[in-house]
Structure 1
């Protein structure tokens, strides 16, 4: 969820329930996930089954899922996922790969060279975009789409598709993930291969809304000769949390960056591979990570981002599993994946709370 909108929703909930911070009182315990709430069969959206392209918090609750038909990836579907299963499934042909909800209920779907706007209760409209690239991120007000393309960051007017600002990244820098900070500008998780005699390293960069770089690139694992970036989240206060792979005895890490500096770096517990995605609590206190491996239980762990300890875990598969994207919507985490059994694989949304 865009950080500005998430902050507004949190404030509204606090006012409605009378829960406001009182100076001198201890902070509430961090939000941990400890219970499996059920599963939803995503393949029910199409007779041929589906692949999950993207997840986002739905404007009316639950999780918004952008799907592609397994038999014909040009055919897409937009639906919601929640405790009651799949919502209405809407077909969207040749539409894109990333989905962004806006506070007024409009949904934007971005793809290379195009942006589809879906207002509530209306037909989609297509906006031709003057740049083709991936990944992308949307400003909290829904007005600017930031795209990584051709060693550049590009800001696009989401209403017209016109390029309004660009920033050159330079030779050797590639964007692995984009997110938007509270000031409306993009934060990029990048791979840096600019030094010919060194291995690639994972770095983090921030730009303002007009794509003026803020500070210098931050190396995320300076104690290791090489590192590979994976996933990125940015919280309401601008804290960036990234996953990456390094060498050494604990190669799978979660790294926190605040005010241009690495403030914490922890091993991911209970896995033998880098999580494909992560979610972070709005207050940046914990991360929710899907973990899999040959000798571990497949599920989700809650990781304390300050101390690095595992606060809770939820088993999602009896044996092995494979997990992809995750999304935190309100109090529920949606994890896309499949348990590995003797049956044919299925695309499943696991709900965790």
Structure 2
């Protein structure tokens, strides 16, 4: 890579100012208590859908852009390339336009049309491929072809964010929990995704010496759980996850297994049933990954109840449900994919009545 010129240094300085200004004029996201009596255990949702680009990935995209700019990887004529299942690409398209750079998202052809439309709305271009496992190589190829920069969220998510603080998501959660009756959560439950969120939260917890445990929810078709159990980063799967944004066919480089206290496999039917149930309880649509997180968090709450524990549990509302009207909210789509949510929906109805989550076989 050639040395950075004086003109490029000036451009980078201005780009960083624009990204910082975006953060400065954006309020923090809300922390909502979930309105359900669960026998002395309080459940909270950290609402990441209120970011300017509508998802948790806004934080990641901002960090990735700052990391690439400060490393000198991105200059005034650089085309930004990213491999994504959708939400990160939406957020990166937003930041690319903010600093006047072209953006190309390499994504599976199965990505929801709502996400594709959002990327294009923010000025990005979508490059769709049939094989979800090939997005990484295709992104690298495109970056080399146009002398661009492959942002590579799956490698850099765990290192681009300052896990010691600097208003990362973990610091925000603990600050917002400060006046609650159980201010130090017993558990924080998140999806695997890139691995960056669990790494940031887990490291922050250790750094601040909190007793909170980290739980990670992994959907069907994802490799993270098996890799964590076997302590093998080479684990792969043969079929992609149907829950966009959190399941991967390989253990991504940003996944830091040592900060995780427990993991759980969440069936797709449970994710979608819980997504729809949460949407009804909150009177607002949420996305599929929120359903995955919530099902796992509700399982944690039930185990705490059975053992006589009280305390608080925090999980994430990752994005809004408007992005999934053609998929998870579409009964025809569920039938086409052989997903029957009725058993889980019945269990959630029972939870709502009694505060007890029945076991689902």
* TM-score in terms of structure 1 length: 0.27
Considering Cα pairs closer than 8 Å and 6+ residues apart, tell me whether 1 or 2 has the greater RCO: 2
Q: Which has the higher strand share?
A: 1
More helix by share: 2
Q: TM-score, normalised by structure 2?
A: 0.26
